[in-house]
Amino acid sequence: MSELTARLQQEQDISDEELIVLIEGGDDQEDLKKRADAVRREHYGIEVYTRGLIEFTNYCKNDCYYCGIRRSNTLADRYRLDKETILACCKEGYELGFRTFVLQGGEDGYYTDDRICDIVAAIRAQNPDCAITLSLGEKTKESFQRYYEAGANRYLLRHETADEEHYRMLHPESLSLQKRKQCLWDLKEIGYQIGSGFMVGSPYQKTEYLVEDLRFLQKLSPDMIGIGPYLTHKETPFKDFPNGSMEQTLRMISILRLMFPYALIPATTALGTIHPRGREFGLQAGANVVMPNLSPTGVRKLYQLYENKICTGEEAAECRGCLSRRVASVGYELVVDVGDVKR
């Protein structure tokens, strides 16, 4: 049976009930994947874009129940990268063929707006032909505006779950879904290319919540949608919850590709962590971006949102080579490109 998949592809109004059947795997899985891949080829050919991820601080003032670098994890070894180190990562990345850098970190008060702007402006001056992506969590609209004027042009902020009740189960009182969504609207209004997304299989998640995630994304219409399986970390309150499933994550990637044909969809590190060929499967299911780590090898193990994260021992060049081969092994091509969305 592949009637639902066909309907999803034809952009006919698909009901919540039908989405639930699709999300739970009630339609022909091979057909879903095939159609998603056909749509990705129609829009992006066999090209796979790459982003160089620089995890510049693992200090965080927040205490999300699922995250290994939460404030209450006193066992986490904390680090910060200075401007020179970040610039060196970008320089090395550029030479390896990266044309976009993602500065990602916990919500770390040490990096004031002045410091962020100083770093962004320096990257911009060093790499005028590159996209600069920030992923620093929730900030005021004024702060977002300042970073934008300093030279940043993309921002990643996953909404994590679009359901109020579920959001409450994953986060402490101090955080609110409404605020998080507002940040995404603010970023969009300023002119950033934005990315959002959610975890698949996070504790207490119901299929209904995933439908809400899709509905929220339909309203937001982000340029990038990042999803990965929830993965456990023993120093969090969720340590006894099981990992999310690879199969459901792959299914969600295909559904996203059919609902958002234009979208940039990464085959995430979390997907590569849950299965040795997870990222390759992600590409085959409709993903078209990979985001390898450019952080200095010495700190990679310390940015541990979840356990057993891959690529923590390799150098940037090794990762690029490895990924390029992995991408080619499933018939796609890792390209040197700033990797803009094709609306």
Interface residues toward ligand 5AD, by CB under 6 A: 66-67, 158, 160, 199, 228, 230-231, 233, 270, 305-306
Residue (2 or 245) nearer to ligand 5AD, CB: 245
* Number of residues in the chain: 343
| Torsion 209-214-216-222 (CA) sign | positive
Please identify which residue in 20, 169, 220, 322 interacts with ligand FES, judged by CB under 6 A.
322
Helix (H) or strand (E) holding 289: strand 289-290
- Distance, in Å, from the CA atom of 99 to the CA atom of 338, rounded to the nearest integer, reads 5
314 contributes a contact to ligand FES by CB under 6 A: yes
53 contributes a contact to ligand FES by CB under 6 A: no
- How many residues make contact with ligand FES (CB under 6 A)? 7
120 contributes a contact to ligand FES by CB under 6 A: no
Contact 253, 286 (CB under 8 A): yes
- Distance, in Å, from the CA atom of 338 to the CA atom of 343, rounded to the nearest integer, reads 15
Between helices 113-126 and 141-150, what is the axis angle to 10°? 30
Residue (237 or 321) nearer to ligand 5AD, CB: 237
Residue (22 or 323) nearer to ligand FES, CB: 323
Please list every residue from 292 through 311 that binds ligand FES, using CB under 6 A. Answer: 292, 311
Residue (222 or 272) nearer to ligand FES, CB: 272
Q: Which does 130 bind (CB under 5 to 8 A by kind): ligand 5AD, ligand FES, none?
A: none
Mark residues 92-111: x for contact with ligand FES by CB under 6 A, - for none: --------------------
Please identify which residue in 323, 327, 334, 341 interacts with ligand FES, judged by CB under 6 A.
323
Residue 104's nearest CA partner among 300, 339, 314 is 300
Smallest distance from ligand FES to CB 240, Å: 30
**Beta strand 193-200 with 154-156: parallel, antiparallel or unpaired?**
parallel
Residue (67 or 256) nearer to ligand 5AD, CB: 67
Q: Please list the alpha-helical segments (H only) found in the chain.
A: 3-9, 16-23, 29-44, 83-96, 113-126, 141-150, 164-170, 177-190, 207-220, 246-259, 269-274, 278-284, 297-300, 316-329
Smallest distance from ligand FES to CB 94, Å: 18
Q: Which does 270 bind (CB under 5 to 8 A by kind): ligand FES, ligand 5AD, none?
A: ligand 5AD
**Beta strand 289-290 with 224-229: parallel, antiparallel or unpaired?**
unpaired
Residue (39 or 311) nearer to ligand FES, CB: 311
Find how far residue 247's CA is from the centre of its chain: 18
Q: Which does 294 bind (CB under 5 to 8 A by kind): ligand 5AD, ligand FES, none?
A: none
Residue 148's nearest CA partner among 110, 120, 183 is 120
Stretch that binds ligand FES, among 12-20, 180-188, 244-252, 313-321 (CB under 6 A): 313-321
Q: Enumerate binding residues for ligand FES (CB under 6 A).
A: 292, 311, 314, 318-319, 322-323
